[in-house]
Chains A and B, each alone.
Chain A
Amino acid sequence: MRKYAISDSQLISQYKNGNEDAFTELVNRHKNKIYTTIYLIVKDTYLAEDLLQETYVKVVNTIKSGRYNEEGKFLPWVTRIAHNLAIDHFRKAKRYPMIVMEDGSNIFNTLEFSEDSIESRKIQQDTHALLRDLIKELPDSQREVLMMRHYMQMSFQEIAEATDVSINTALGRMRYALINLRKKMTKLNIAYDQNLYPR
């Protein structure tokens, strides 16, 4: 997990004491990850934006009313809220996530790059858009584990408990998700150029 000079817990303490700049930092720190979590479920940018706002309304209400007690685990807490709101939306609308390819025309694809050539940026954008589509094509159980671990920052033990399976099953699903993504990208001849994807 990325280390910050000021932890999420410290920012929340400051926010509770009335520091709105602390909240701004907290939002900006995690907004992409939370938004991506929602987007990969609902597959609609406008809906994802609305649900992101609903998520943070709950966050603000909980923290400002003194009910927040997820010490040290802000990101898993808020991504669970986001995840549940997205799933609830589908239950209410009696719709279920369709596994379809996107045409790319309605994606807020604003990934940031620095000092890259136009061509390499285009290659990266196309690859990232394709990878998002491939994630959406994964079997539900694999996509769920991948999202919970990678975007919601839950541990494999927490994922196992949340999905009522053994930790070995959770790990196995993650393994299959990663292998399936790799196979599909290889099949589509997606380059794994390390110059384009620095670690």
Chain B
Amino acid sequence: MIKTFTQDDLIRYIYQETTAEESIEIETALIFDEALSDSYNELSRTVGLLKQVQVKPSEGTVDRILSYSKSYDLHALR
């Protein structure tokens, strides 16, 4: 008998928080349960988009961070 899974289970699966056994059960269920598969596709597409939504800090900010680290020992001596 194929176990039933919820969208919350799918979210745990997408974020790799399921056990190895759970993952295999979910993957099996995805093959046979079209509604579950549709839910998985929707959720994973949205998560996939989130992975691409990032902004970058300026190079100047990064340079200041690295400079602070390099000059830390000088600060510490004061």
Show the binding face of A for B, using Cβ within 8 Å: 1, 20, 23-24, 27-28, 31-33, 35-36, 39, 45, 48-49, 52-53, 56-57, 60-61, 64-65, 107-111, 124, 127-128, 131-132, 135, 146, 149-150, 155-156, 168, 171-172, 174-175, 178, 181-182, 185, 192, 197, 199
Q: Which residues 23-66 of B have a CB within 8 angstroms of A?
A: 42-58, 61-62, 64-66
Whether a CB of chain A sits under 8 angstroms from the CB of B19 is: no
| C-alpha gap A48/B61 in the complex (Å) | 10
| C-alpha gap A110/B72 in the complex (Å) | 30
Beyond A131-B49, A156-B17, A178-B47, is A109–B55 a contact (Cβ under 8 Å)?
yes
Q: Are B54 and A36 in touch, CB under 8 angstroms?
A: yes
Give the residue name and chain of the A residue nearest to B44 (CB). A199
24 A-B residue pairs with Cβ-Cβ distance under 8 Å, sorted by A, are A1-B16, A23-B69, A27-B62, A27-B65, A32-B57, A35-B54, A35-B56, A35-B57, A39-B55, A48-B57, A52-B57, A52-B65, A56-B69, A60-B69, A64-B73, A107-B55, A110-B55, A111-B55, A128-B49, A128-B52, A128-B53, A182-B42, A182-B45, A199-B44
Chain B contributes a number of interface residues (CB within 8 A of A) equal to 35
- Shortest A60–chain B CB gap in Å is 5
Q: Are A108 and B76 in touch, CB under 8 angstroms?
A: no
- Shortest A84–chain B CB gap in Å is 18
Q: Are B57 and A31 in touch, CB under 8 angstroms?
A: yes
Chain A positions within 8 Å of B4 at CB level = none
Q: Are A197 and B69 in touch, CB under 8 angstroms?
A: no
Whether a CB of chain A sits under 8 angstroms from the CB of B8 is: yes
| C-alpha gap A130/B52 in the complex (Å) | 12
Chain A positions within 8 Å of B69 at CB level = 20, 23, 56, 60, 64
Q: Are B57 and A178 in touch, CB under 8 angstroms?
A: no
